[in-house]
Amino acid sequence: MQTLALPIFPAGEFLLQKNRFRFASPIPSTFLCASYSRKVTVDGCGEGDRMCVLGMGFSGRYIGGRLMQEREWNVSGTCRSDAKKKELNKMGIDAFLFDSTKDRLENLKSLKEATHLLLSIPPAEAGNPLFHSLEKLRDFLGNGNLRWMGYLSSTSVYGDCGGALVNEDYPANPMNESSKARLVTEKKWLSLGNQLGVSTYVFRLGGIYGPGRSAIDTLLRKKQLTSYQRMRRLKRFTARIHVADVYEAVKASFDVSKSGTYNIVDDNPASRAEVFAFARNLIEEKWAGQVLIDESREATRLDSASKAQVRKGEKRVSNVCMKTQLGVNLTFPDYKSGLLSILNSYGE
């Protein structure tokens, strides 16, 4: 058995067994499970800035992990299961169980202490229950230490744009219930920040990829594609962003007082088909014979009505404001550099 160690997935590894890769971690996106050193004062409290991430998922963990690693920030965050809470604790994150459909934010101890608050919980279709008691929330946050608020939203709020180039001034026209709920959440978030008088940002993200969640990972896992994945393959343009650059954008916004909404996407809205062809070649060059699914044939199974629907919704998303106003320098300006770095991080 040949084992491929993944340096950035300390909790897991790809195993090459009988010519099949499988990810050995129960949670593949757990790529930051190493314990980070954390500055602790004599009374047990951490020094400096404190980030609280509501929704410690793929991006939340990455951002929290980098802030601890690079800036020695104290990081707390929420999840919904004991197993995830344990993993987060192992990383050095103060984790709290929180389900927005039944729990109240006002009961979250770490919120009061937070200097920075990142919302990474997707809104439910019926709206974001976080805001059910907005006044209470405002009073609660207003009495704390908060200086910065960020919300991870999505470019899906623009809706169908017929292939147009869209910047932040392009009228949002969300097409489904979750995108509509996202737009409502954006507005509430900005308004809450305004009322509190803290710098507040909405980041409209393209498809987030990174180690553990990328075309390379999809091809290596060899699972059947979902119908949503098959539909997306037909698009000529797809906005995407490496999770490291989501972090760069969040970090850049700490230092500029330009509250507002920013598209966070890379420079190349290449089609999913192009990205998968590139990923396939990369894997084949490194580990010949390991890609068994034929992604290109999956899309042909869709009916023509679905194909027409996908193409109607296309857009190219501009990242000019992200660069000129936030001053972000992308670490991975296109999928090629991003995928190559992911592959290289998976060892030999």
Ligand X SMILES: NC(=O)c1ccc[n+]([C@@H]2O[C@H](COP(=O)([O-])OP(=O)(O)OC[C@H]3O[C@@H](n4cnc5c(N)ncnc54)[C@H](OP(=O)(O)O)[C@@H]3O)[C@@H](O)[C@H]2O)c1
* Contact code string over 257-276 relative to ligand X, x by CB under 6 A: --------------------
* Mutual angle of helices 177-196 and 134-142, in 10-degree steps: 40
Q: Does 342 bind ligand X (CB under 6 A)?
A: no
Q: Does 218 bind ligand X (CB under 6 A)?
A: no
Q: Does 98 bind ligand X (CB under 6 A)?
A: yes
* Contact code string over 15-54 relative to ligand X, x by CB under 6 A: ----------------------------------------
E strand segments, the chain:
2-5, 13-17, 20-23, 50-54, 74-79, 94-97, 116-119, 148-154, 165-166, 199-205, 207-209, 240-242, 260-264, 316-317
Q: Tell me how far, at minimum, the Cβ of 190 lies from ligand X, in Å.
A: 16
Binders of ligand X among residues 117 to 136 (CB under 6 A) are 120-122
Q: Which is nearer to ligand X, 79 or 282 (CB)?
A: 79
Q: Which of 47, 99, 177, 267 binds ligand X (CB under 6 A)?
A: 99
Q: Does 91 bind ligand X (CB under 6 A)?
A: no
Give the long-range contacts of residues 90-99, CB within 8 A, separation 24 or more: 90/33, 90/35, 91/32, 91/33, 91/34, 91/35, 91/36, 91/61, 91/64, 91/65, 92/35, 92/36, 92/37, 92/38, 92/68, 93/56, 93/61, 93/64, 93/68, 95/56, 98/54
The residue range among 94-102, 217-225, 280-288, 311-319 that interacts with ligand X, by the rule CB under 6 A, is 94-102
**Positions in the binding site for ligand X (CB under 6 A):** 55-60, 78-81, 84, 98-101, 120-122, 152, 154, 205, 207-208
